[in-house]
Structure 1
Amino acid sequence: MVSTVQNTDVKQKDADRALVVAVTSGAVFDPGAGDGGVGVYGMGVAFPLLQALQRVNERLLQENPDESLLFDVVLITTDSQQQQQSSRIISSTRHYGLDVGRFCFSSEEDFMESLLKNNVQLFLSTDRNETLQGSQKGVLSAVLDRQEAPPEQLRVMLCGDAIVRHDTVPEPPSQKAAQSFSAQLGEMRRRFGMLDSPLSVVLVTSSGGRESCGVALRTLRSRGLSVDEAYCLAGAPRSPILSLLRPHFLLSDGLGD
């Protein structure tokens, strides 16, 4: 069974234009950490991500108060113990002033239904098995990076290898969702200038040379997405650049043609 509760504390987003991002509540809040006994959860690994998403929305609305292309955040809860604390999850969101549009509570068996029912365009979790399930059902999914990412700028990293190797792997179920997400993200990025943008898109190609990186760049541009930075590692390990750039997540699911 899936139960969805609207957050009456925030203005609901335009369902036809908003980019719906679902994040597991267990990643946003740390159930094992309280906050001074005031009945709210402590901050989890994905807390800066929600702050960064909110920052993008705030800047978009500053530029245009009638802007409808905004991030619409849904918190997904499947843990039975956390479901019993649903009021605490909602109170924690209110306490921190997070711009969450909906709270969705479901069993682990019905969690995919909760993503589809809420028209989720990007699903983020610290649980690799959950993101794999999402991908298999055609929902663009990514594992959240556990290293600390900045709350003032949303940093999205794209895997160039997933774009250029499409001839050697089967077409993923989430390909259509990935291309739609790329187009919307690109449109959102164009709302800002080159400097002081609250949204940064980075391309990293681990294998191959400059030609592979060029193919990935051209493919993304054909979908309406231009990147802020591109790195061709030519076989070098990816971990140093990840530590330096500190993206909120690395997206490789569904990016191939």
Structure 2
Amino acid sequence: MNLDNGQSLTVGGQDLTRNGSSSGSSSRYPWEDAKKVMKPSTPTRKPQPPKPENAITIAVSSRVLFNMEKEQQIYEQQGMEEYIRYQVEHESEPFGPGPAFSFVKALEAVNARLRELYPESEELFDVVLMTNNHAYVGLRLINTINHHRELLGGSQDGPCLSLPPHPSLVSSPELFIERFCMTGGNSPIGYLKAYHTNLYLSADPGKVREALEEGIAAATMFTQEKMKEVSDTQLRVAFDGDAVLFSDESERIYKAHGLDKFFEHEKAHENKPLDHGPLKGFLEALGKLQKRFYGKGQRMDCPIRTYLVTARSAASSGTRALKTLRSWGLEIDEALFLAGAPKGPMLEKIRPHIFFDDQMFHVEGAAEMGTVACHVPYGIAQKVSRKAGKEPSAPK
């Protein structure tokens, strides 16, 4: 921009004073056009986190968001004081990604699309780092988030995880993890309720069972040797049916009376919806966001896709499962009835960011093939009662 000796204001080669303005209108002042030319093409203000009561809140522990296996060994072998000392001494060294890292990135890919379609809406995913670590460890966690933000090309103001953009976006989407809860060894359950948590992911089975007993959707995540590459632009979530989306009613029949009685029971009750399981509410929350995209004509380009991956047989027992979902007003994008076949190969094709199952056999089989699989310790299939004693608490 410059003002020459003839008192003409030029911006980007445009003379904004000739004939009153660049548009030729005598009723406008030159600086009005100058402001238009100089206006930035992309916003610089970072998105604000939504209010907890409006958001879909995902609480993740530090050990599932980041790889803290070495630190966990120090805690278990040398105790809390040495653990804290080590964390403080290494607080400038970032943790590597953990099993929930790609899932969290995918949540923000959805948020970026939602903000584009509904700029003022607070119906977004909100990630809370929920850890029973000591507050001294908080600095290393913040430094780690900033490291991954910068590594992925994020801005410099505020802790966030920055993600590759959806092809339809001009600016790079960023996930700001503004909310940390460091409880210093105390139970996080009260905080989970305060944040209206829709899903809690932790490496501690005891904490997960405690959350489930309080009616909070929760699952145990595990650090895996290999994890398949997953989509950066579409969140894919896969669910088992019985004791995950549905209650364990039918599974109890199978355990007590065998497969034939199970088929008879399902046939006789195919028009009676199953009761809800622990993760029904999370599927409901995903469906609510999906409808936001459908309302804008983006059903075929929706950045959320859901899957039912069940050991049920389609003809013998699949009808009741599908009718139950319909009675709840919930859609599932794809339903795979495997009739007892291993789930791992199908999940390898789907490549979900996260898969929920109540049986460790299926969780381990999926994990061996690179799927991030979570255990939902609920229902008759559990060898350890949900009322059993808790494991020793550890930083999560």
Greater alpha carbon shift after TM alignment, 40-49 vs 246-255: 246-255
- What's the CA shift for 1:102? 0.6
CA RMSD in angstroms, aligned pairs only: 3.1
Q: In the alignment, is the contact (CA less than 8 A) between 1:29 and 1:42 conserved in 2?
A: yes
* Cα pair distance change 1:62/1:10, threshold 3 Å: closer
- What's the CA shift for 1:148? 3.4
Percent of pairs with identical residues: 32
> Aligned partners of 1:135, 1:75: CA distance in 2, in Å?
18
Q: In the alignment, is the contact (CA less than 8 A) between 2:52 and 2:195 conserved in 1?
A: no
- What's the CA shift for 1:205? 1.6
Equivalent position amino acid for 2:194 in 1:
K
Say yes or no: does 1:190 pair with 2:291: yes
> Aligned partners of 1:212, 1:255: CA distance in 2, in Å?
21
Larger strand proportion of the pair: 1
Q: Give the secondary-structure state (helix, strand or coil) at the position aligned to 1:161.
A: coil
TM-score when normalising by structure 2: 0.54
* Cα pair distance change 1:191/1:210, threshold 3 Å: farther
Equivalent position amino acid for 1:121 in 2:
N
> Aligned partners of 1:20, 1:115: CA distance in 2, in Å?
9
- What's the CA shift for 1:54? 0.6
What residue ranges of structure 2 are gaps of 5+ in the alignment? 1-45, 72-90, 150-159, 162-174, 254-274, 358-375, 380-396
> Aligned partners of 1:108, 1:85: CA distance in 2, in Å?
12
Larger radius of gyration: 2
Q: Which has the higher contact order (CA 8 A, sep 6+)?
A: 1
Equivalent position amino acid for 1:216 in 2:
A
- What's the CA shift for 1:59? 0.7
Q: 2:51 aligns with which of 1, 11, 14?
A: 14
User: Which runs of at least 4 in structure 1 moved beyond 4 Å after TM superposition?
Assistant: 167-170, 174-177, 252-256
- What's the CA shift for 1:194? 3.5
What is the match of residue 84 of structure 1? 136
Alignment of 1:15-164 (within 5 A): 15-31=52-68, 39-80=93-134, 83-95=135-147, 96=149, 97-98=160-161, 99=175, 100-144=177-221, 146=224, 147-148=227-228, 150=230, 151-162=232-243, 163=246
* Cα pair distance change 1:109/1:148, threshold 3 Å: farther
Greater alpha carbon shift after TM alignment, 227-236 vs 141-150: 141-150
Equivalent position amino acid for 1:131 in 2:
V
- What's the CA shift for 1:110? 1.8
- What's the CA shift for 1:196? 3.2
> Aligned partners of 2:339, 2:123: CA distance in 1, in Å?
36
Greater alpha carbon shift after TM alignment, 227-236 vs 182-191: 182-191
Q: Give the secondary-structure state (helix, strand or coil) at the position aligned to 1:207.
A: coil
TM-score when normalising by structure 1: 0.80
- What's the CA shift for 1:52? 0.3
